[in-house]
Structure 1
Amino acid sequence: MNHVVLIGRLTKDPELRYIPESQNAVATFTVAVDRPFSKDKQADFIRVTVFGKPAENCERFLAKGKLVGVQGRIQTGSYKNKDGATVYTTDVIAERVEFLEWGEKGSGGSGSGFDREDPKGSLGIPEGFQALEDDDDIPF
């Protein structure tokens, strides 16, 4: 089983690019996750990669300092740098990203308002599911 759940704050704005062959969107960003019980207020800085429409939404709505929840899997890799040395990488490939603080980029606030186009904040809901209006919609 390879499953990761993180909550933290972005260290800078997400970077969005498109894969040339397929034109699929790819966003990358780093999340600072506080270490529990750390006397020195330490954090881990974890690189996250998101694909497709969620990647475009991350680039649109997330900004440095915003609180985000990420659910996904760990992926390791390596590459040769310009000096020929092998560099090892560890990334979280996000399957779901929850915007825990909302607002347009540059709107100034990190409040919990909702996007006009997505008033229920359902951008993080997987395909085939729908948001519940309230607890009365739960069938049990």
Structure 2
Amino acid sequence: MANDLNQYQCIGRLGKEPEVRYMASGKAVASFSVAVGSSWKDASGEKREETEWVNVTAFDKLGEICGEYLKKGSQVYISGRLKTDKYEKDGQTRYSTKVIADRMQMLGGKTEGGQDEAPQRQERPAKTHGDRKGGPNNRPDFDDESDIPF
């Protein structure tokens, strides 16, 4: 397996607002889906289009940023790895594949309010300031201007 690569990249639009939950440790988990379109001409020369829905999960600071800044219809670039979960439902084995995001970049220019969208974000180890922690009731720590997502 030393020569294997598990890397996924896409550009698409959010189908709905991200759902953000917090683990017992206080770390954020954002889940959302991205519509990724493709088009081609079939054998008769007619243009065909197809949309693929990609489930995405982002953890920690990246998850908090996704929950705060991504909105339904937002165009985003997502990079990460594929993960397939196996589960049982109604006595049948089922599989669900998602992208575990390690990078997100908002695309598409300005939002409706005229604000520039957030720049590219990468998962980084959390920086701490004493007892301050991010969580459902606290805002995330931004240690310097490079951590501010706009």
TM-score (ref. length: structure 1): 0.73
Distance 1:125 1:75, change over 3 A: closer
Structure 2 portions without partners, runs of 5+:
42-46, 126-144
State yes or no: 1:28 paired with 2:31.
Answer: yes
* Code of the aligned partner of 1:89: S
Distance 1:84 1:110, change over 3 A: farther
Shift of 1:113: 1.2
Structure 1 portions without partners, runs of 5+:
116-120, 132-140
Q: Deviations over 1:103-123 (max 9, x none)?
A: 6xxxx71866146xxxxx35x
| 8 A contact 1:10–1:65 mirrored in 2 | yes
More strand by share: 2
| 8 A contact 1:61–1:102 mirrored in 2 | no
Equivalent residue in structure 1 for 2:16, among 9, 12, 15 = 12
State yes or no: 1:45 paired with 2:49.
Answer: no
Distance 1:55 1:126, change over 3 A: closer
Find the structure with the greater CA-based Rg. Answer: 2
2:72 counterpart residue number: 64
State yes or no: 1:100 paired with 2:111.
Answer: no
Equivalent residue in structure 2 for 1:91, among 81, 92, 98 = 98
Shift of 1:24: 1.1
TM-score (ref. length: structure 2): 0.69
Root mean square deviation of aligned Cα = 2.5
Shift of 1:84: 2.5
Number of matched residues? 118
* Moved segments of 4+, more than 4 Å: none
Quote the Cα distance in structure 1 between the aligned partners of 2:113 and 2:8: 25
| 8 A contact 2:62–2:122 mirrored in 1 | no
2:137 counterpart residue number: none
Percent identical among aligned pairs is 37
| 8 A contact 1:101–1:110 mirrored in 2 | no
| 8 A contact 2:39–2:48 mirrored in 1 | no
